[in-house]
Structure 1
Amino acid sequence: MSTDPSPSEPDVAPSAGPPADAVPEGPENPESPETAETAEAAPPLPKRRIWVVFAVAAVLWAIDLITKNLAAANLEGKDPVRILGGLIYLQVIRNPGAAFSMATGMTWVLALVAAAVVVAIVWISRRLRSVGWAIGLGLVLAGALGNLTDRIFREPGPLRGHVIDFISAFAPNGQGFAIFNIADSAICVGGALIVLLSLLGHDYDGTRTAKKKASK
Structure 2
Amino acid sequence: MTQDANTDVEPASRVQPQRGRWRITVWALLIGLVAILVDQGTKAWAEATLSEYERIPLIGDLLGLQLAYNPGAAFSFGEGSTWVFALAAVAATVTAIVFAFRVRRPGWAIVIGALGGAAASHAGDRLFRQPGFARGHVVDFLAYGNWFIGNVADIVIVTAAIAAAVLLLRKDES
Query: Which TM-score bucket, shorter chain as reference?
Result: 0.7 to 0.9
Q: Secondary structure at the match of 2:102?
A: coil
Q: Which is greater in Rg?
A: 1
Over 3 Å off, 4+ runs: 84-87
Residue 125 of structure 1, CA deviation:
1.5
Q: Secondary structure at the match of 2:149?
A: coil
Residue in structure 2 matched with residue 108 of structure 1 by the alignment: 83
Residue 119 of structure 1, CA deviation:
1.0
Asked whether the 8 Å contact 2:100–2:113 carries over to 1, the reply is: no
Aligned counterparts of 2:143 and 2:102: Cα–Cα separation in 1: 38
Residue in structure 2 matched with residue 154 of structure 1 by the alignment: 129
Residue 202 of structure 1, CA deviation:
4.6
Asked whether the 8 Å contact 1:142–1:187 carries over to 2, the reply is: no
Residue in structure 2 matched with residue 143 of structure 1 by the alignment: 118
* Aligned residue pair count: 156
- The answer to whether the aligner puts 1:127 opposite 2:97 as a matched pair is no
Asked whether the 8 Å contact 1:98–1:104 carries over to 2, the reply is: yes
Aligned counterparts of 1:87 and 1:66: Cα–Cα separation in 2: 24
Aligned residue type for 1:160 = R
Select 1:99's aligned residue among 40, 49, 74: 74
Aligned residue type for 2:132 = G
Residue in structure 2 matched with residue 188 of structure 1 by the alignment: 158
TM-score by length of 1: 0.67
More strand by share: 2
Asked whether the 8 Å contact 2:29–2:100 carries over to 1, the reply is: no
Residue 132 of structure 1, CA deviation:
0.7
Q: RMSD across aligned C-alpha pairs, in angstroms?
A: 1.8
Aligned residue type for 2:169 = L
Residue in structure 1 matched with residue 13 of structure 2 by the alignment: none
In the alignment, structure 1 segments of 5+ residues that lack a partner are 1-43, 207-216
Aligned counterparts of 1:188 and 1:84: Cα–Cα separation in 2: 21
Structure number with greater CO (CA < 8 Å, separation at least 6) is 2
Residue in structure 1 matched with residue 42 of structure 2 by the alignment: 67
When residues 200 and 115 of structure 1 are mapped into structure 2, their CA distance, relative to the original with a 3 A threshold, is same
In the alignment, structure 2 segments of 5+ residues that lack a partner are 1-15
When residues 198 and 77 of structure 1 are mapped into structure 2, their CA distance, relative to the original with a 3 A threshold, is closer
Query: Equivalent pairs: percent with the same residue?
Result: 35
More helix by share: 2
Residue 101 of structure 1, CA deviation:
2.4
Asked whether the 8 Å contact 2:56–2:65 carries over to 1, the reply is: yes
Q: Secondary structure at the match of 2:69?
A: strand
Aligned counterparts of 1:86 and 1:51: Cα–Cα separation in 2: 41
CA deviation profile, 1:41-84 (whole Å, cap 9, x unmatched):
xxx85821111111111111101001111111111244101114
- The answer to whether the aligner puts 1:118 opposite 2:54 as a matched pair is no
Asked whether the 8 Å contact 1:155–1:161 carries over to 2, the reply is: yes
Residue in structure 2 matched with residue 54 of structure 1 by the alignment: 29
